[in-house]
A and B are shown apart, each in its own frame.
Chain A
Amino acid sequence: MNETPPDAGAASAPVLVRRHRLSTRAWHWLNVVAVFTLLMSGLTIFNAHPRLYWGQYGANFDRPWLKIDASRDGSRGYVQVGSLRMETTGVLGAWEKDGRLSNRAFPHWMTLPSHYSLSEGRKYHFLGAWLLAIAGVLYLLWSLLNRHVMRDLLPRRGELAPAHLWQDVKDHARLRFPRGEAAARYNVLQKLAYVSVLFVILPVMVLTGLGMSPTMNAGWGGILDLFGGRQSARSVHFIAAMALVVFIVVHLLMVVLAGPVNEVRSMITGRFRLPPEKGR
């Protein structure tokens, strides 16, 4: 991808390289739409029954491992994980909109639609799901064919060596980002993050999503067995979604720290300005 090696003689002139392929850029922005639609409509669906269980079954009389609920009078909201209870009044379980108290689990500003409607939430969720699944499969096939996965995403030999990994962790912690030619490639932590999203989190999201469909359960019972039951699949679906949120937060943070204009431009036009090497 790095077609223009930086010229040492023109250190001050910005060096533009082609960094992201069209397929990567198109998939990225489609995913922004699909993933935000999915996350926010997913919270609406969660609000219909804000409890998570392990196993095949789970309903109000059974013991959830996670629940978002409110005190009896509705004034205080909390999240309970196992026996650990965290007060979340104002955000989860009890929150206000236009001066009116609501005891829905996730607040209106996180959900799609912003009012509670399970049927609309589901409608948008499946719209997002089809978008994510179709675009994801096409991108994955295309990226295997054009060797994007092999060349740019999978860690190279040596990159997974503990010393190299540790160095990369330290560089990230010190906000010391690659400069010059190295900045055009993904560093190993970045590769690991992208590979986990592409090959672990997204497939798990899709499989657990299908694992909650009673029709799919009839034809593809193996998914139920893989996750240990329908309610387990629902729990894993939620956990994977939260993992995706963590990825997005860190991803956005890194974009801001690494130079938002340059980074965002490279994801729109594909062109990336190499940060000049230090000391030259």
Chain B
Amino acid sequence: MTFSRRRMIAGMSAGLTLGGCQKILEAGPVDALATSLDTFTMRAQRLVVPRTALAREYSLAERSPIFRANGSRTADTPEYRRHLAENFANWRLTVTGLVGNPLSLPLSRLRQMPARTQVTRHDCVEGWSAIGQWTGTPLKLILDLARVAGTARYIVFECADLFGTTPYYESIDLIEAYHPQTILAWRMNGEPLPERHGAPLRLRVERQLGYKHAKFVRGIVATDDLGRFGAGKGGFWEDRAGYQWWAGI
């Protein structure tokens, strides 16, 4: 590239990438508007999509040949390694917070509950999609067992995987939490849930983007205030990189 072309492109960047326009967008009011659109989009989508509308389910033949694993492919802690070696025999799922009956459930207990199997599409916020079969315990059954209080507004998922020293977590509201396809999956494509996909328990919340689908789930907390978790924005990527809490689009 010649010097003058470089200059020209640099000049264009100033105008076109809109150093200026970008500054306008980043300025307080516009940024505040753009951020508050998150809630507006959620309300609009909830207005036109029934709260029980089901995500599309596919046939086994329509599955991705290889289901890409993304995010944490392991929870690389000595404690997790031990659970993995024990085949998760001593893994417990705790259910706490605004519940009348706090729980600490072994996986065997979850597997005794009625299970749901679904072949669904996983859409990553990055743009790719993969289809796989999931079997797990409907979240509703677990929440009902714990007797979630009427004051609860969100369900938070605490995970065993760390990004650096920060544990992953995510949250959804009660509409998504009680949706019939929202399950804590322990099987995938007919086999025990693999480590890279979040063994032993992974949330499937089928009408939301991939980052909501918490892996390595060890705790469920019912709460009325997301501000008490992590940096307060409702999820690891929400805190770390400004991802939208509403992941329906």
Q: Which residues of B contact A90 (CB under 8 A)?
A: 1
Q: Looking at the complex, which one of B49, B126, B242, B244 makes contact with A49 (CB distance below 8 Å)?
A: B126
Determine whether the beta carbon of A118 is less than 8 Å from that of B206: no
**A217 to B54 CA separation, bound complex (whole angstroms):** 9
| CB-CB contacts below 8 Å: B96-125 with A | 121, 123-125
Q: Which residues of B contact A234 (CB under 8 A)?
A: 127
Q: Which residues of B contact A45 (CB under 8 A)?
A: 127
Q: Name the distance in Å between B46's Cβ and chain A's nearest Cβ.
A: 8
Determine whether the beta carbon of A119 is less than 8 Å from that of B242: yes
**A56 to B55 CA separation, bound complex (whole angstroms):** 13
Q: Name the distance in Å between B127's Cβ and chain A's nearest Cβ.
A: 4
Q: Which residue of A lies closest to B132 (CB)?
A: A57
Q: Looking at the complex, which one of A109, A112, A218, A221 makes contact with B25 (CB distance below 8 Å)?
A: A112
Q: Which residue of B lies closest to A109 (CB)?
A: B13
Q: Which residue of A lies closest to B19 (CB)?
A: A114
Q: Which residues of A contact B60 (CB under 8 A)?
A: none
Known: A40-B17, A109-B12. A122 touches B65 (CB 8 A): no
**A248 to B168 CA separation, bound complex (whole angstroms):** 44
Q: Does A141 contact B (CB under 8 A)?
A: no
From A60, A61, A109, name the one whose CB has the most chain B CB atoms within 10 angstroms: A109
**A51 to B128 CA separation, bound complex (whole angstroms):** 8
Q: Does B228 contact A (CB under 8 A)?
A: no
**A45 to B38 CA separation, bound complex (whole angstroms):** 17
Q: Which residues of A contact B40 (CB under 8 A)?
A: 130
Q: Which residues of A contact B126 (CB under 8 A)?
A: 48-49, 118
Q: Which residues of B contact A85 (CB under 8 A)?
A: none
Q: Does A31 contact B (CB under 8 A)?
A: no
Q: What sequence of 0s and 1s flags, for each residue 79-103 of chain A, a beta carbon within 8 Å of any chain B beta carbon?
A: 0000000000010000000000000
Q: What sequence of 0s and 1s flags, for each residue 181-212 of chain A, a beta carbon within 8 Å of any chain B beta carbon?
A: 00000000000000000000000000000001
Q: Does A213 contact B (CB under 8 A)?
A: yes
**A132 to B195 CA separation, bound complex (whole angstroms):** 43
Determine whether the beta carbon of B22 is less than 8 Å from that of A113: yes
Determine whether the beta carbon of A59 is less than 8 Å from that of B241: no
Known: A57-B121, A120-B242. A224 touches B56 (CB 8 A): yes
* Contact surface of A with B, Cβ cutoff 8 Å: 36-37, 40, 45-46, 48-49, 51, 56-62, 90, 108-114, 117-120, 122-124, 126-127, 130, 212-221, 224, 230-231, 234
Q: Across chains A and B, which 9 residue pairs bring their CB atoms closest together, nearest first? A: A219-B49, A215-B248, A49-B127, A59-B128, A109-B13, A213-B249, A61-B66, A48-B126, A119-B242
* Contact surface of B with A, Cβ cutoff 8 Å: 1, 9, 12-13, 16-19, 21-22, 25-26, 30, 33-35, 37-38, 40-41, 45, 48-50, 53-56, 58, 62, 64-68, 121, 123-131, 206-209, 237, 241-244, 247-249
Could you list 14 A-B pairs, sorted by A, with CB under 8 Å? A57-B64, A109-B16, A110-B16, A112-B21, A112-B25, A114-B13, A119-B243, A126-B34, A127-B30, A130-B40, A213-B248, A216-B48, A219-B49, A230-B121
